[in-house]
Structure 1
């Protein structure tokens, strides 16, 4: 897996001050995407053990609320294979910090009914994620007043509660 950028102090992609990892590779190609360069699976730098350690170190300060993974597309199969064990490490080391993930896939249609039955890491990866922003960016539904989303079709899903209940539970801001 490759990544395009690591933001050390991000306040735009989840609550509080976060570390954000922008992975490379996306097949959605949404019109108006703010990060087109990450569509290529070879964009940026290889995600290595050193990269993991760098991010884990960045997560240490108490003022960091958690990790956000976006892209590109974290839920692409080849990205899941690398991200699952990394997210598991993050959760084990920092159980009090939240993990947010942005995906252009729709939870019920793509993740639940297509990916989970076929892909080895999807459910395991979801179990590490606290909040999932789902749905493609839709230029015609762009709304700059939405918190942590680009277009009105996108939702912020509370993954833990959703997995517990079997019904989509949306994030409620604390």
Structure 2
């Protein structure tokens, strides 16, 4: 995959993080989310207007500057699947040029993504290694959980789930 001409609204970027997935990772926060979860910790990022419009090639280059010091990349937000048309291209380019894994946080359930008629959702899902799915629900908030904010959220091994045609959760 060559040049990525598209642009994406970037709400934030962490060069390296230990809390947004397993290992040392770069984290891309995208703008725009329609879930409107109560007590969302990235409330400002729900707006599609928040952040800066950045070329995907620039995002890719910034991630690759951290490689091989990082183990992977995490897509968060906002809502990555509301930006799936650009993110699946970025994910494929990362996968084609490194051994990094990709984690993704979404308010959607895995089943919704798999059963959707949106082809770009399925393309992004096929490019992800680990999915943390489900809306943040205040009543299920649990700060002792790793990589999740509420007990209803699942950590899913996407590739094994696709192959087995059933949800394979990671016990982390």
Common topology (TM > 0.5): yes
Matched with 1:157 is 156
| 1:83 maps to which of 81, 87, 90 | 87
Aligned counterparts of 2:100 and 2:90: Cα–Cα separation in 1: 14
Alignment partners' CA distance in 2, 1:86 and 1:144: 31
Structure 2 gap segments, 5+ residues each: 1-7
Query: Does 2:18 align with 1:16?
Result: no
Number of matched residues?
164
Partner of 2:119, secondary structure, is coil
Residue 65, structure 1, aligned to residue 64, structure 2: no
CA RMSD of aligned residues (A): 1.1
How much has 1:57 moved relative to structure 2?
1.9
- Report the alpha carbon displacement of residue 97 of structure 1 after superposing the two structures with TM: 1.6
Return the alpha-carbon distance in structure 2 between the equivalents of residues 9 and 70 of structure 1: 14
Q: Which residue of 1 aligns with 2:100?
A: 97
Counterpart Cα distance in 2 of 1:19 and 1:51: 11
2:135 corresponding residue in structure 1: 136
Gaps spanning 5+ residues in structure 1: where?
none
Note the C-alpha offset of 1:15: 0.8
1:172 deviates by 3.5
Secondary structure at 1:56 match in 2? helix
Normalising by structure 1, report the TM-score: 0.90
TM-score by length of 2: 0.91
